[in-house]
A and B are shown apart, each in its own frame.
Chain A
């Protein structure tokens, strides 16, 4: 009897453990320079494509539909304000043409943070 009881308890414990252990582990990127990563996302046509509208740093053939991205730390002393702007610029200006990168899942949270950090380095 005792053995049967122990076996049952063990099974119960194993099941509850398997239920708890379903969260995936956060993966950390091996690439060293986050600013380079942010720049790559901002310039890539199929990802951020910021150059379509904005002049940025040494980006080739930038558009002029949006303002040049210069002195971003002066213009956005509060990082969260800039992040919110990239997330959904229509909150501050309903008429803006800028795509809502976060709200519409064009970039994921990690990409968004990398881009914001890169922009603040300009």
Chain B
């Protein structure tokens, strides 16, 4: 945070009735407040800390959906749209993502180039709850998909394409093994971790595209309302169930693929899967969802 640039040289003249030390005090506070206002983009203080953000989001959805426990939002719109929920539960009886999980298991157990396998990196595979996290040494957010490719390169193998079918299958198998783990992203405290978190938070709240929507426009302001016949879900449940089987895709796909689609729907050019933008957004959203259980893969429209 820089104190240098801001104009704090208020005149001390023409201020009868206030003692100089009190005035100085007042000015100091006024300056700090002004600086926080001006340099909001650099100052973590001006954002509110992550704990306050998480409380604010939970409080908002509690108020919006008073009859629904916050944890229920893990099911997205099916938490509050009863008709849609029944159809969804019927689909989940014979889940179309089962094949993807089986194929993921096969890939998971296939030897990598140097003879090692994914289990050398991920043990029994039930690790989804450990991601994303902020790696202080690399100074970036590590997602499960990034870790999968890191594992491959550690064992002399080629990275998988982030928009391809294979990585979604490996991730689907890992997600399946990790069901019911409770999301518990460590609170970002270092300046670098806070910067990544705040970047995600800014992305979430910034209006983009020709249609001028932020993530929060639909999922905070309009959460629970309908666009045409579709209800808008609460963001608390946005990260719980990936990779998801989307009926529109007829396949399992990643959270970042969904981010890209959201961006395109408001006519904003999407970012690449696993770009810093989307990883930071995932980091922010997952921190906000702390306390919710993982339930992927799941079916979504």
Contacts and interface: CB of A to CB of B under 8 A. Distances in A.
Are A and B in contact, CB atoms below 8 Å, in the complex? yes
A61 B212 CA distance: 23
B218 interface: yes
Interface in B224-276: 225-230, 232
B212 A104 contact: yes
A105 B213 contact: no
A66 to B, nearest CB: 9
B228 to A, nearest CB: 5
Contacts of B211: 99, 104, 106
A65 B227 contact: yes
Nearest to A104: B210
Interface in A71-119: 90, 95, 97, 99-100, 104-106
Contact of B217 (A62, A97, A105): A97
B228 A51 contact: yes
A95 to B, nearest CB: 7
Which of B222, B226, B228 lies at the interface centre, i.e. has the most chain A CB atoms within 10 A of its CB? B228
A64 interface: yes
A65 B232 CA distance: 10
Nearest to A106: B210
Contact of B228 (A61, A100, A106): A61
Which of B212, B222, B227 lies at the interface centre, i.e. has the most chain A CB atoms within 10 A of its CB? B212
B183 to A, nearest CB: 28
29 contacts: A52-B227, A52-B228, A53-B227, A61-B228, A61-B229, A62-B228, A63-B227, A63-B228, A63-B230, A64-B225, A65-B226, A65-B227, A65-B232, A90-B212, A97-B213, A97-B217, A97-B218, A97-B221, A97-B222, A99-B210, A99-B211, A99-B212, A99-B213, A100-B212, A104-B210, A104-B211, A104-B212, A105-B210, A106-B211
Interface string B204-219: 0000001111000110
A61 B230 CA distance: 9
A107 to B, nearest CB: 11
A95 B220 CA distance: 12
A111 to B, nearest CB: 14
B119 to A, nearest CB: 47
Interface in A40-61: 51-53, 61
Nearest to B232: A65
A52 B228 CA distance: 4
A64 B226 contact: yes
A52 B213 CA distance: 14
Contacts of B221: 95, 97
Nearest to B210: A104
